[in-house]
């Protein structure tokens, strides 16, 4: 009797395992079982890159995985995803801080450019105000570099045409009053074209006045935020 009961127990256990396996195989075959995956790119009607989604195993196995659209949401992969999300957030914060600093520096530069008179020397036809040759954006930028120690790109000087007359001219700049780049001119720079034969006059101080000058040059004479040496970093 004891042996019979033992046989019945083993048969019940065996049938349970077989039944469970058959049920699992049936679900897998029909594609009704689900798996959690991490999307590697945007998938229509499913989610965006980095999202965790639950999909049918067959859909993942036959389409998403071969197309490199998703991977299994294992513990290791989820931890990697969380780490990459945090790193991306830190990178965005650093980029925003760097952009804020850049905008403040450009605002200081814009103020210095608009509050200074840039002197350009050019030979003048005797008895007239007509220049021999002309004053171009390049010559203005060179004068700005000498007098204000600012490396101003020519593209920022919106000179409609070369200056061919002596005197004071308002030259538009492609920077906003707040320092950011702009499609049109929002501020103007004063350029004084004088006869090269005149006695040299003392040009504007590179330190500027007040807070602007203090921000432009450090106490040790090093370039401050208002002194741009490398246009590729500060003006792009």
Same-domain check for residues 62 and 111: no
Domain containing residue 200: CATH number: 3.10.430.100
Structural contact between residues 103 and 179, judged by C-beta atoms closer than 8 angstroms: yes
Please report where in the chains the tokens 């009961």 appear, as a residue: 5
Does an H or E element contain 214, and which? helix 210-216
Write down the mean pLDDT value for the chain. Answer: 75
Residue 134's Cβ-side half-sphere holds a number of Cα atoms within 13 Å equal to 9
pLDDT tens digits for range 1-35: 555 455 444 455 444 433 433 433 344 444 459 99
Same-domain check for residues 112 and 183: yes
pLDDT tens digits for range 154-202: 999 999 899 999 999 999 988 765 544 444 446 899 999 998 877 655 5
pLDDT cut 70: percent of the chain above it: 66
Please report where in the chains the tokens 């970093």 appear, as a residue: 233
Q: What is the DSSP string of 132-165?
A: EEEE-HHHHHHHHHHHH-----GGGB--SS-EEE
Highest mean pLDDT among 152-161, 174-183, 214-223, 224-233 belongs to 152-161
pLDDT tens digits for range 130-141: 888 899 999 999
Same-domain check for residues 110 and 211: yes
Which of 46, 79, 112 is the last residue before a domain boundary? 79
Structure tokens at 103: 């905008």
Structure tokens at 53: 């989604």
Rounded to 5°, the CA angle 18-23-24 comes to: 100
The CA-based dihedral angle spanning residues 184, 211, 206, 185, taken in that order and rounded to the nearest 10 degrees: 10
For the purposes of burial, counting CB atoms within 10 Å of the CB of 50, is it exposed (0-12), middle (13-18) or buried (19 or more)? middle
Q: What is the DSSP string of 15-75?
A: HHHHHHHHHHHHHHHHT--EEEEEESS-BTTTB-TT-EEEEEHHHIIIIITTTTSEEE--H
Q: Which domain holds residue 228?
A: 103-234
- Average of per-residue pLDDT across 209-218: 38
**Is residue 13 one of the residues assigned to a domain?**
yes
Structure tokens at 196: 């090269």
Structure tokens at 153: 């790109």
The alpha carbon of residue 100 and the mean position of all alpha carbons in its chain are separated, in whole angstroms, by 11
Whether this model's pTM surpasses 0.85: no
Q: Please give the tally of structural domains in the chain.
A: 2
Residue 227, C-beta contacts closer than 8 angstroms, at least 6 positions apart:
149, 150, 206, 216, 217
Same-domain check for residues 66 and 111: no
Same-domain check for residues 73 and 131: no
Please report where in the chains the tokens 């490398």 appear, as a residue: 230
Does an H or E element contain 8, and which? helix 2-30
Same-domain check for residues 214 and 119: yes
Least confident interval from 26-40, 90-104, 205-219: 205-219
pLDDT tens digits for range 51-66: 999 999 999 999 999 9
pLDDT cut 90: percent of the chain above it: 47
């Amino acid at each position: 009797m004891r042996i019979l009961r033992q046989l019945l127990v083993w048969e019940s256990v065996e049938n349970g395992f077989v039944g469970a396996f058959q049920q699992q195989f049936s679900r897998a075959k029909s594609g009704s079982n689900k798996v959690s995956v991490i999307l590697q790119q945007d998938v229509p009607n499913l989610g965006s890159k980095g999202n965790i989604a639950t999909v049918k195993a067959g859909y993942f196995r036959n389409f998403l995985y071969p197309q490199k659209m998703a991977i299994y949401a294992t513990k290791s992969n989820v931890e990697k995803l969380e780490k990459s999300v945090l790193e991306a957030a830190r990178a965005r914060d650093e980029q925003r801080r760097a952009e804020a600093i850049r905008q403040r520096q450009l605002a200081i530069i814009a103020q210095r450019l608009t509050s200074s008179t840039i002197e350009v020397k050019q030979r003048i036809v005797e008895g007239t105000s007509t220049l021999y040759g002309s004053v171009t954006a390049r010559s203005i930028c060179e004068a700005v570099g000498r007098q204000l120690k600012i490396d101003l790109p020519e593209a920022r000087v919106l000179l409609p045409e070369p200056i061919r007359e002596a005197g004071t001219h308002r030259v538009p700049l492609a920077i906003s009053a707040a320092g950011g780049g702009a499609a049109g001119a929002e501020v103007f720079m004063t350029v004084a074209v004088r006869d090269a034969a005149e006695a040299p006059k003392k040009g504007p101080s590179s330190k500027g006045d007040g807070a602007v000058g203090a921000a432009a040059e450090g106490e040790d004479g090093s370039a401050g935020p208002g002194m741009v040496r490398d246009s590729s970093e500060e003006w792009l």
